[in-house]
Amino acid sequence: MMMRNILNTVGLFSLVFALLGCQPAANDAKPVPDTQALELVREAEKLQEGVRLGHRLTSLATRDRDTLTSLLNDIKVGLLRVAENNKDVDGLRILKRGLVEWDKASVQLQRTDEGVFTAFLTKVYGLLNDRARSAGVDVDDITWALFVTDFARSVEPFTSISNGAMWEADWALDEPLVRVSGYDVKAWLITPTFDLTQVRDPAFRIEHLFMINRNTGKFATDIFDRKRIVTEAFKVMVSRNYEAGDPALATWEQVDISPLPSSYNFHAVQSPLVSLEKFRGEKVAIAFLFDMPSSTLGHHYVTWQINRFELFGAGPTPSMLPRPRTLWSHSFSNRDFKPFQSGSFGGAGAPEWLPFATSPGAMPKFAKIGSNGVNFEGWLVSPQIQMKGEELSLSFKEVVRNLDFTKIRVLVSTDYRSGDPRQASWQEVLRPKIPVVKPDTWQDVRSGPIDLSALKDQTIALAFQFVDDGTPGDRVWEIENMQIMGKAPQDLKVSERDYKMTEGSKPTGPEALQTYLFTQATLDPFVAASTADSASSWAPVAMKGAFKYAKAGSGATPTDTWLLSPRITLTGQNLALQLKHTVRNPNWDNWKLMISEDYTGGDPQAATWNELAIAPATEVPVDKWTDLVVPDIDLAKFAGRPFVLGFRYQDAGGPGARVWEIESLAFKGEGKFQATGPLNPAVPGAP
């Protein structure tokens, strides 16, 4: 599915061409209106009206509907330009981009919508080819934006590498961006490696700004040379041989992106189109290097912000060569540590890991622990992480004060599941470089990457262990964020557990109980099964850029769809299920959670199902999103008996939004959990 950040840029791209773009090529005679293009404009307007009135695209999630609506408008803008002058290459460019992005969006339409839109787009494609030939150009020779990002979700697929402050995605003035700030920083932001083998006239462009503030505090006497900072701190370079890891090991060639931003205000400028013609036919990466050493440029607060990156060229969209990316990350920005858990062991009054905010009333930024005169050790332990991928590595950002790095350790275990962590097996993972400790100074440290490739295909827990002997002194350790990077098609799966981290308690084995979260781009290990005429199906859905729910919703026509768990076996005592879900205008007669002992695949309606009660005691508000937590559902009678859970969503169709979103399923108890799957709803008995 097409990322929203690219689609927003598509809309802006079209608007610029429509309102401010190049004028049609001059002709001796006034162009005759293109009647075929005008007819397609009218068809586009009818489709837009159908969407507005709720007759078209009603089965889609709001995000997908907005995506296709934006692209439909782009195509109409291109048609309007071609209707005015059927040799307008800029109009043809807009048409080509709209068609390509529609195809890349890969949104599943209802059959009636699919037929109508496919017929319309086929006619537009035919018009594009005919008018391109008439204009004397090959469609494949039309230069357009081959790759666009405005960083709406994250820095990815770019790579961020730094010795201090990192390039990080953010929002300002309701717009997404990526930026880095500070001094004594060497921070790289590197594009994917683009294969330009089949790309003609390659070039790139960015929208960006600089902000330079003189230090008027402790370092007020530092030399301040704005021109030198502008010319030396901000570099753009291209490499033919960068693959991954330390960019200093690759060969880079600097390119000019003048004129540059003013650096006096937050006014972003668009760089000129920077030609990559000398790199044509090669595989290249483009780097934005923020290099601000205080020894030569001063202790001044400097920011580089990039709002958008565009790669242009003629020809097919270039492939992006795989590079390690963020497969899992965590910031300690909530008021508890979930899904991390903590425990301290030692004398009375032993300090604990606590959330820490930098100012009163603010949200936490760090997990923090420090000395207080007690001999103790404090543990901060991650959830269970399934290490699936290649070239896996760990990096984290920490702040230290007066610390002995032999007393603060980063550990990994493959057998810890809960209980006293000291009774599990742990192995220390060593930082590549130990910083020099400056007395009574807060030091920001970026640790990593630490090679974890030896742990491939294992389930691990990470731990931060703080050991203190209670001697006088102010010793503090703060963890801000961490990430595991690697090469894998999907993010790492994480299982949240209640560790019950009590002194002396024995760790349970690998078959500890399980929590399922829907934080990936797939439902795995769950599967969806729908009737042939169902308006939609269960699917992953994201909130604020991160996947969070499995979702089913209403459409104009009936919906009948199942969300099926793997085949689960629980053994032990006090077995129960806790369900967290969100609803909007629920119909509890038709929305059911059921359990089956004989379903192994194929049509779920052919199996025997028993309903598990999940309806709340009171009615939920109309047309409001309502978060619900179902009290523990007793599963004791299913101990030792394999079962499958099925969420069945049925809806008669019609106006209104009726949505069911599953956030998590937590299996509780003292015992073991096993699962086999995902099942195959198309083949009975096939896991």
pLDDT above 90: percentage of residues in the chain:
41
Question: Of the candidates 323, 357, 385, which is a domain's last residue?
Answer: 323
Q: For 343-398, how does the pLDDT look when each residue is reduced to its tens digit (9 = 90+)?
A: 888 877 889 999 888 877 777 889 999 998 889 999 999 999 999 999 899 988 89
Average pLDDT in the chain: 85
pLDDT given for residue 6 in this prediction:
34
Q: Torsion over CA of 321, 327, 332 and 336, rounded to 10 degrees?
A: 160
Task: Please check whether residues 470 and 526 belong to one and the same domain.
Answer: no
Q: Is the Cβ–Cβ distance between 97 and 144 less than 8 Å?
A: yes
The strand ranges marked E within 214-271 are 234-239, 253-254, 269-270
Question: Of the candidates 141, 165, 194, which is a domain's last residue?
Answer: 141
Task: Please check whether residues 308 and 380 belong to one and the same domain.
Answer: no
Q: How far is CA 274 from CA 15, 199, 261, 540, 548, in A?
A: 22, 15, 16, 39, 39
Question: Of the candidates 103, 119, 141, which is a domain's last residue?
Answer: 141
| Residue 111, pLDDT above cutoff 70 | yes
Residue 432, SS3? coil
- Helices marked H in 212-343 — which ranges? 226-233, 294-297
Task: Please check whether residues 275 and 136 belong to one and the same domain.
Answer: no
One-letter identity of residue 99: L
| Residue 33, pLDDT above cutoff 60 | yes
Task: Please check whether residues 351 and 309 belong to one and the same domain.
Answer: no
Q: Would residue 549 count as lying in a domain?
A: yes
Q: Would residue 340 count as lying in a domain?
A: yes
Q: Would residue 456 count as lying in a domain?
A: yes
Two tokens, residue 542: 């994201």
Task: Please check whether residues 100 and 219 belong to one and the same domain.
Answer: no
Confidence band, pLDDT 50/70/90 cuts, at residue 508: very low
The answer for residues whose C-beta is within 8 angstroms of residue 42's C-beta and 6 or more apart is none
- DSSP character at residue 26: P
Between 326 and 600, the higher pLDDT residue? 600
CA pair distance 673, 687, nearest whole angstrom: 17
Strongest mean pLDDT among 157-166, 296-305, 572-581: 296-305
Q: For 420-476, how does the pLDDT look when each residue is reduced to its tens digit (9 = 90+)?
A: 888 788 888 888 778 788 899 998 888 878 989 889 888 899 999 999 988 999 999
Instruction: Please report, for the domain that includes residue 422, its CATH number.
Output: 2.60.120.200
Between 131 and 337, the higher pLDDT residue? 131
Task: Please check whether residues 137 and 151 belong to one and the same domain.
Answer: no
Q: Would residue 168 count as lying in a domain?
A: yes
Q: How far is CA 46 from CA 34, 42, 81, 95, 654, in A?
A: 19, 6, 18, 18, 21
Task: Please check whether residues 347 and 269 belong to one and the same domain.
Answer: no
pLDDT given for residue 500 in this prediction:
60
Q: Would residue 100 count as lying in a domain?
A: yes
pLDDT given for residue 638 in this prediction:
95
Q: Would residue 630 count as lying in a domain?
A: yes
Instruction: Please report, for the domain that includes residue 576, its CATH number.
Output: 2.60.120.260
Residues 570-578, mean pLDDT to the nearest whole number: 88
* 546: containing domain: 515-676
CA pair distance 153, 543, nearest whole angstrom: 10
Task: Please check whether residues 137 and 216 belong to one and the same domain.
Answer: no
CA pair distance 395, 408, nearest whole angstrom: 16
| Residue 78, pLDDT above cutoff 50 | yes
Task: Please check whether residues 363 and 397 belong to one and the same domain.
Answer: yes
Q: Would residue 72 count as lying in a domain?
A: yes
Strand partners for 651: 559
Task: Please check whether residues 296 and 223 belong to one and the same domain.
Answer: yes
Between 379 and 547, the higher pLDDT residue? 379
CB burial class (10 A; 0-12, 13-18, 19+) of residue 216? exposed
pLDDT given for residue 502 in this prediction:
60
Q: Is the Cβ–Cβ distance between 526 and 678 less than 8 Å?
A: yes
Q: Is the Cβ–Cβ distance between 510 and 415 less than 8 Å?
A: yes
pLDDT given for residue 224 in this prediction:
94
Task: Please check whether residues 134 and 170 belong to one and the same domain.
Answer: no
pLDDT given for residue 2 in this prediction:
37
Q: Would residue 581 count as lying in a domain?
A: yes
Task: Please check whether residues 525 and 425 belong to one and the same domain.
Answer: no
CA pair distance 67, 34, nearest whole angstrom: 28
- DSSP character at residue 263: S
**What's the number of domains the chain is made of?**
4
